[in-house]
Amino acid sequence: MTMVLSIGCTSINTPRETGNNDNPKQVEEDNKEEEKITESHNQEKEEPTDEIKLQLDEMTLDEKIGQLVLVGMDGYDVNDNVKELIESYHVGGIILYRKNVKDSNQLLSLINSLKSSNSSNKAPLFISVDEEGGVVSRNPNEVKKLPTARSIGKTENSSLAFEAGRLLGQTVKKFGYNMNFAPVLDVDSNPLNPVIGNRSFGDTIETVSTMGLEMFKGIKEEGVIPVIKHFPGHGDTSVDSHIGLPVVDHDLKRIMDFEIVPFKHAIDNGADVVMVSHILMSQIDPEYPASMSSIVINDILRDKLKFEGVVITDDMTMGAIEKNYNIGDAAVRSIKAGTDIILVGHNYEKAVTVFNAIKTGVDTGIISIDRIDESVYKILKLKEKYGLEDLVIEDLNVEEINRDIGKLVEKVKQN
């Protein structure tokens, strides 16, 4: 009786049955064919192209450093200094203040001009503003003010907080802004606090966490980047950081259990940008304020809270920094500590100083190019995520804006 042995499968490395296993040429051809098939399979498994990485690799050092600087300007129009900051220093963003706003038409024209001035750069601008509602408003006078955060917090109506955030987002977006430094997530726990007050939703972590998150969601709903502030918490201070350096003496446990809770809540719900304040946390980092502290930015914000987004400083031209540090040195220290964007809200010369200080830091090896690339990648990724484009806006209906704000004001009063 004849026995037949059947082989069910063959290894890729095993030559095919050819009828003549002693033919070296045939075996070689078969093995090459198998290699082609294997290579084809491997190519199919390759990761998709990272367009942000390609964009980053094509940027000059000056273009990269520019993305790390967000600047203010003087006047109602794009002057020579602003053009130079955009065209020569390639700054990544602009912040506008009340001093830059005359009326609705002028503001719209200014923002359109800023975007047009950026046409030769590889990345669109952040066009940013502090529009919190209440006392901190940069809108033109003909636009009604939204309610304060405190008045919204007192309603204990989270849907109103969401609606307020949505209107904030809608309003600034109609003028051409794409980033809003709001909401304020500071818990107003110190009655002597000279700077937060009714900018906060309240004096409990529950109110600030709940209402702040809803306002954050509302702003984001409109495609505007919300920036939560002022990490790790400006609520229990008795010094205005615009004037001097506030010192907070709480230990890490207290900070984590109280001040940081609203920020953690927002981070866990998708916050993309955190503003770090100029506050000296004496028991956490007695040497540097939060905006320059690796302990605060890396150990707490990044490691403990798992925040992977963009970190921006509060304005480096504030008294807390200028009265205690050289602004260039402070910017370098902040970048080394983990900050991604340095905010220079006032003064052309100071913006140039910050740019040059960072560049010198790279040239001398104080800041590694990898550290720069890490931040620029996050910034470009954020701009892509929100679909930022330097498109001009032609139509503006102030009456429509005021009608919607008026409705919200009445709802807050009724609650």
Q: Is 314 a catalytic residue?
A: yes
Task: Note whether residue 10 is domain-resident.
Answer: no
Task: Work out whether strand 273-276 and strand 247-248 pair parallel, antiparallel, or are unpaired.
Answer: unpaired
Task: Note whether residue 160 is domain-resident.
Answer: yes
With 0-12 CB in 10 A as exposed, 13-18 as middle and 19+ as buried, what is 373?
middle
The residue type found at 180 is: N
Task: Note whether residue 37 is domain-resident.
Answer: no
CATH of the domain at 277: 3.20.20.300
Helices 205-221/158-175 angle, 10° precision: 40
One digit per residue, the tens of pLDDT, for the chain of length 415 reads 434 334 344 443 444 444 445 566 666 666 666 666 666 555 556 678 899 999 999 999 999 999 999 999 999 999 999 999 999 999 999 999 999 999 999 999 999 999 999 999 989 999 999 999 988 999 999 999 899 999 999 999 999 999 999 999 999 999 999 999 999 999 998 887 777 888 999 999 999 999 999 999 999 999 999 999 999 988 777 667 787 787 889 999 999 999 999 999 999 999 999 999 999 999 999 999 999 999 999 999 999 999 999 999 999 999 889 999 999 999 999 999 999 999 999 999 999 999 999 999 999 999 999 999 999 999 999 999 999 998 888 888 899 999 999 988 899 888 8
How many domains are there within the chain? Answer: 1
Of these residues, 242, 299, 329, 346, which one is catalytic?
242
Neighbours of 182 (CB within 10 A): 29
Q: Is 242 a catalytic residue?
A: yes
Task: Note whether residue 24 is domain-resident.
Answer: no
289 closest CA partner among 315, 264, 307: 315
Task: Give 232-253 pLDDT, tens digit per residue.
Answer: 988 777 667 787 787 889 999 9
Task: Note whether residue 325 is domain-resident.
Answer: yes
280 closest CA partner among 292, 269, 295, 290: 290
Task: Note whether residue 319 is domain-resident.
Answer: yes
Task: Note whether residue 413 is domain-resident.
Answer: no
Domain that holds residue 154: 52-407
Task: Note whether residue 8 is domain-resident.
Answer: no
Residue 312 bridge partners (DSSP) = 275, 341
Of these residues, 130, 236, 272, 314, which one is catalytic?
314
Neighbours of 157 (CB within 10 A): 17
